[in-house]
């Protein structure tokens, strides 16, 4: 450990990966530049915002303010683009080809739901800290993830990007787990979905992608956090 007050040597900074965006739309002469008070945003602005959202969520601990502002801006842009009959033929950035494809097909609800599920994952991670959670965190048990999204094709909006977004370590583990279990301080062993049975807990809509052993381990960690004693489940 360094002595107190000593300057440290400069550490090598990780290079921020540059956003792969074709910046032609910044040209003030271009027709679809989104400057002050445009009627309709260019799809590049939309793509840029989606990239920012991905980039933000890829952080190990996303800046919530940045995330919320980007999501709200994205919703605004998307709302203004929805009534547009046809978009100008713009080159989409290679990172999110599916976004432009699905743009016209998806509803606003789908976009909200996909962002919702991404924000949900955020809350899973945050909700597992050892910080004492206020009772306002309690959610009614049985609330399924993703809200009442009319179309579960929501996650398609972000396409293959979702997969690589969420399969790093902890984030992938929490994808299918109902938040309500972890937010609830008065959680008891009889709560649904916690019995280590071979079947999935009620309320889970998607087939669990994670290993059942991992799920058990996760449960045990949470049980330990909640200071409840449980016998180890039957081995599989």
146 alpha-carbon distance from chain centroid: 11
The reply on whether position 5 binds another protein by CB under 8 A is yes
The reply on whether position 170 binds another protein by CB under 8 A is yes
The reply on whether position 20 binds another protein by CB under 8 A is no
Give the other-Cβ count within 10 Å of 197's Cβ: 11
Taking contact as CB under 8 A, which single stretch among the options 88-96, 122-130, 184-192, 202-210 is the one that binds another protein? 122-130
Residue from 87, 90, 95, 116 binding another protein (CB under 8 A): 116
Residue from 29, 132, 231, 235 binding another protein (CB under 8 A): 132
Residue from 22, 32, 58, 80 binding another protein (CB under 8 A): 80
Where b means 16+ CB within 10 Å and e means fewer, 209-223 reads eeeeeebbebbeebe
- Show contacts of 121-124: CB within 8 Å, 24+ apart: 121/166, 121/171, 121/174, 121/175, 122/57, 122/62, 122/64, 122/67, 123/179, 123/183, 124/174, 124/177, 124/179, 124/182
The reply on whether position 194 binds another protein by CB under 8 A is no
In what helix (H) or strand (E) does residue 79 lie, and over which residues does it extend?
helix 64-81
Residue ranges in 49-68 that form contacts with another protein under rule CB under 8 A: 52, 60-61, 63-66, 68
Query: ∠ CA 193-128-189 to the nearest 5 degrees?
Result: 35
Q: Which residues bind another protein (CB under 8 A)?
A: 4-5, 7-11, 13, 19, 21, 23, 26, 33-38, 41, 45, 48, 52, 60-61, 63-66, 68-69, 71-73, 76-77, 80, 112-113, 115-117, 119-120, 122-123, 125-134, 136-137, 139, 143, 146-147, 169-170, 179, 221, 225
């Amino acid at each position: 450990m360094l002595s107190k007050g000593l300057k440290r040597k400069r550490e090598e900074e990780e290079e921020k990966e540059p956003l792969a965006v074709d910046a032609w739309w910044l040209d003030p002469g271009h027709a679809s530049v989104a400057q002050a008070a445009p009627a309709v945003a260019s799809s590049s602005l939309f793509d840029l915002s989606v990239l920012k959202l991905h980039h933000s969520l890829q952080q190990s601990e996303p800046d919530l303010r940045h995330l919320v502002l980007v999501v709200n801006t994205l919703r605004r842009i998307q709302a203004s683009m929805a009534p547009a009959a046809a978009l100008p033929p713009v080159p989409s950035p290679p990172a999110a080809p599916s976004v432009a494809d699905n743009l016209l097909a998806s509803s606003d609800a789908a976009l909200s739901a996909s962002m919702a599920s991404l924000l949900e994952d955020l809350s899973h991670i945050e909700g597992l800290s050892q910080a004492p959670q206020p009772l306002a965190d309690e959610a009614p048990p049985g609330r399924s993830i993703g809200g009442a999204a009319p179309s579960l094709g929501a996650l398609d909006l972000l396409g293959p990007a979702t997969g690589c977004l969420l399969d790093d370590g902890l984030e992938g583990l929490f994808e299918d787990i109902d938040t309500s279990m972890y937010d609830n301080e008065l959680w008891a062993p009889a709560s649904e979905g916690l019995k280590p049975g071979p079947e999935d807990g009620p309320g889970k809509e998607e087939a669990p992608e994670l290993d059942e052993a991992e799920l058990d381990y996760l449960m045990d960690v949470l049980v330990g956090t909640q200071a409840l004693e449980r016998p180890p489940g039957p081995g599989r």
